[in-house]
Amino acid sequence: MRAMEQPNINQSAGVDTGIFSLQRQFQEMEELNAAMKCVKLDLHSVNTILQFLSTNGVSVTKRGELTSVVGLVKVDMSLLEKGLRALTRCLNRRSQGVLTIEVESTENDISLVIPTYDSSVIENSIVATYAVEVIEKMGAKAHLKKEAISLTFPMSKGQ
């Protein structure tokens, strides 16, 4: 994710409202739609995904040991980045500090865990809800808990 730029945000109030909020939401939905139209699922290693996310401005924290995982994940990196950016922007507008994505993996899957103070923020955001749906179309399973959203991708054990 690129720097968390938020155009048309009323900086004095810390939130965007009215027409600026609608414009921002439509723009984010258009970006997700454009990425969905040219989705190309490829197999990537866990380390490749982590490196891609880090390169695009995501603060990634690893949970447990990831180096022993040999499986590959079928994902469209660009679509994943756009979906995660939409989710973290939504959460960033309503929380304090920098958001990080925690990564857990097992032999069977990889989970991207986004900590939040209240996951209902995602359920109450049209853009965030759509971003979750878009990520699920790549084969991920979304799990909303009170203090986190987890996006779990199955591992492919070969080509």
Q: What pLDDT is recorded for position 70? A: 64
8 A C-beta contact, residue 130 and residue 98:
no
Domains and CATH numbers, the chain: 18-156 (3.30.565.10)
Which amino acid makes up residue 157? K
Q: What confidence tens digit (pLDDT) does each residue in 111-156 have?
A: 999 888 777 878 888 888 889 999 999 999 999 888 888 999 998 8
Summarize pLDDT for 38-74 with one digit per residue, the tens.
888 999 988 888 888 888 777 888 876 655 556 789 9
Q: State the pLDDT at residue 9.
A: 43
Kindly list the distances between the CA atom of residue 53 and the CA atoms of 7, 32, 48, 113, in Å, as whole numbers in the listed order: 22, 17, 9, 13
Looking up tokens 């989705």 gives 39
Give backbone dihedrals phi and psi of 89, rounded to 5 degrees, phi first: -65, -45
What pTM did the predictor assign? 0.75
**Which DSSP helix (H) or strand (E) runs through 72?**
strand 72-75
- Cα–Cα distance for residue pair 103/152, rounded to 1 Å: 10
Burial of 29 (0-12, 13-18, 19+ CB in 10 A): middle
* Alpha carbon of residue 155 to chain centroid: 18
**Whole-number pLDDT of residue 153:** 94
DSSP H/E element including 34: helix 18-37
Confidence of residue 17 (pLDDT cuts 50, 70, 90): low
Look up residue 61 and give its amino acid. T
Q: Span 8-12, mean pLDDT?
A: 42
